[in-house]
Amino acid sequence: MPEPTTTELVESVVQAGRDWTLGISRADQGHLNVDSRGDRRLDSPIEIVFTATELHSYYRRIAEEAERGVAPEPPWEWWMTLMSTHLMEAVHETDRRTEPCVITVTATGFAATPAS
Any domain includes 92: yes
Any domain includes 1: no
pLDDT at 13: 97
pLDDT at 2: 83
Element (H, E) at 36: strand 32-37
Distance between the two ends of the chain, CA-based, in angstroms? 37
Total structural domains within the chain? 1
If phi > 0 it is left, if psi is from -120 to 50 it is alpha, else beta; for residue 69 that is left
Any domain includes 46: yes
Any domain includes 108: yes
Any domain includes 41: yes
How far apart CA 94 and CA 116 sit, in angstroms, is 14
pLDDT in tens, 32-49: 999 999 999 999 999 999
Any domain includes 101: yes
pLDDT at 24: 97
Cα–Cα–Cα angle for 88, 92, 94, rounded to 5 degrees: 120
Q: How far is CA 22 from the centre of its chain?
A: 11
Any domain includes 53: yes
Residues of the chain where predicted confidence (pLDDT) is lower than 50: none
pLDDT at 28: 76
pLDDT at 27: 84
Range of the domain at 42: 6-114
